[in-house]
Amino acid sequence: MTDVSTRFQTGFPKIGIRPTIDGRRKGVRESLEEQTMNMAIATAKLLSEHLRYPNGEPVECVIADSCIGGVAEAAACADKFAKSGVGVSITVTPCWCYGTETMDMDPSIPKAVWGFNGTERPGAVYLAAVLSGYAQKGLPAFGIYGEHVQDAGDTSIPFDVKDKLLGFAKAALAVAYMRGKSYLSMGSVSMGIAGSIVNDAFFQEYLGMRTEYIDMTEFVRRMDENIYDTAEFEKALAWVKENCIEGPDNNPADIQTTREHKDKDWATVIKMTQIARDLMVGNPQLAELGFGEEALGHNAIVSGFQGQRQWTDHFPNGDFMEAILNSSFDWNGIRAPYIVATENDSLNGAVMLFGYLLTNTAQIFADVRTYWSPESVERVTGHKLTGAAQHGLLHLINSGPATLDGTGEQSINGQPAMKPFWDITEEEAQKCLDATSWRPASVEYFRGGGYSSDYLTRGGMPMTMSRINLVKGIGPVLQIAEGYSVDLPADVHDTLDKRTDSTWPTTWFAPTLTGEGAFHSVYEVMDNWGANHGSISYGHIGGDLITLASMLRIPVNMHNVPEKRVFRPRAWGLFGTANSESADYRACQNFGPIYK
């Protein structure tokens, strides 16, 4: 089996803090050294206390050896950062500095500048000057400037500055962590779904990732030749028998499989889960079994499994494999979720990865299946929708691969939630398992059998649905919808659920409406959604997604994030502000993918 140290063996990017200073000595620089370095120290402390890597460890910051007053010290800082594995750059200063002499010139590293809002020295003047230089040189940078004036001796970081520092750093770390990793395509195109046509140019130029490919026959080879940890398999099988509740078989009696066949399916889907994980991240146990090449894995932080139909017409489906890997726990205990896209929808896999890296929580993969208007719900069930659902609902449901964290059986302050694995208790993991029924797959869909996870997401959770689409001539575009999961009366849910496949997991989602554009109504959200799939994250993370997208030069074509939470590089304002979406498109097109 794998452990955290093996899975994350390539390490994590660090945040580099660059204290810049007025280079004039004999009085000016000397008077500012302590204040400037203290800003860097305070920034590093803030980030390390509030942000964690995917393995749960605090984010690590590296501070330049000295304040940077000119190009020689800037070069020395750049050298230290390169040797230290820095992937994110934050410049801080309370004073005027020489802009193009002190700026960070690495085009592949996301960068921000915090100019102290104080009257004694013109930190804001440097901020404006250096951001102008970044725009002129085609190196977009984020500007951070507190709303209220601080005294020169004030070492605190105002709340608005904290929010921007943390928002920038979260997104920038995601950019840095993706670089050099892989998307693993397990199989090829599923049922003609465009997102499963894996676009290597997108992953390479926008995310800095490579694409790896294996044929699904690799699963057969590894099962036939016992290229998996057999001791772990026995452990997993016992765990499944104890913790995975098998639900009733909804198939017509004449095509239901035997008990012997069902037990064989359980064994197969467990092995598939082990093999998919080993393909992604490797497994040193395989080397001990004599399979050194297979032990290495593909360095994949996200993958997709084709499944339908070439696999599922003959073998058990991938639903159990995908659901368990996407969850924050399995037979080895509580651990970080793996990101696996159903039907090899690489574009949904990419946005699932975004959500995961921004939150360190599991992501729900779902079809954006049906818009239920208030009138339709009342006609079919007699129930009048109220509260968050009063304007209608989206039925998010797919063939059973959604993370079990999506049950909402974890809690924060007594409310349903999805949490980073290090905050999940054994009791909460068990509640997620107990709330899930594993239903024998619909044989008419999945001729090879298998199991689908069936659960109902608890209502009241803030959630963000997102999706990347590729558009000919433009490239990738991102769409975002914040909203809430919703509880329906049991009989109402049952009536609506049975109109589709009731063996699959359901999330009832009510997007937040703004009264404008695609968010004029819930119907408009559904009507403007760009594909059949979406990724759903716990929390309202739309602002963080917008920040991340701007770093990657991916424009956002629809969102309902309040303007005060939108944070993009300062240069975006130079492309027009009357229509932020239009400015976003122009800026992204102008600067282009960061790795092209």
Residues within the annotated binding site for Mn(2+)? 343, 367, 533
Number of CB atoms found within 10 A of residue 265's CB: 21
Separation between Cα atoms, residue 40 and residue 459, nearest integer Å: 42
Known binding positions? 343, 367, 533
Burial of 152 (0-12, 13-18, 19+ CB in 10 A): middle
**Contact partners, residue 341, CB within 8 Å, separation at least 6:** 302, 303, 304, 305, 348, 349, 352, 365
Q: In 103-246, which residue ranges form alpha helices assigned H by DSSP?
A: 123-136, 159-178, 200-207, 217-224, 230-243
Give me the helix-helix angle, 542-552 and 159-178, nearest 10°. Answer: 50
Active site members = 343, 367
Q: Provide the CB-side half-sphere exposure for 459 (13 A, CA).
A: 15
Catalogue the E-assigned strands of 94-140: 111-115
Query: Letter for the amino acid at 176?
Result: A
Of residues 24, 26, 30, 114, the one with CA closest to residue 70: 24
Answer left, alpha or beta for residue 539, where phi above 0 means left and psi between -120 and 50 means alpha: left
Which of 392, 333, 394, 337 lies closest to 363 in space, CA to CA? Answer: 337
Closest CA to 474 of 559, 591, 577, 555: 555
Work out the end-to-end distance of the chain between its first and last CA atoms, rounded to an integer number of angstroms: 38
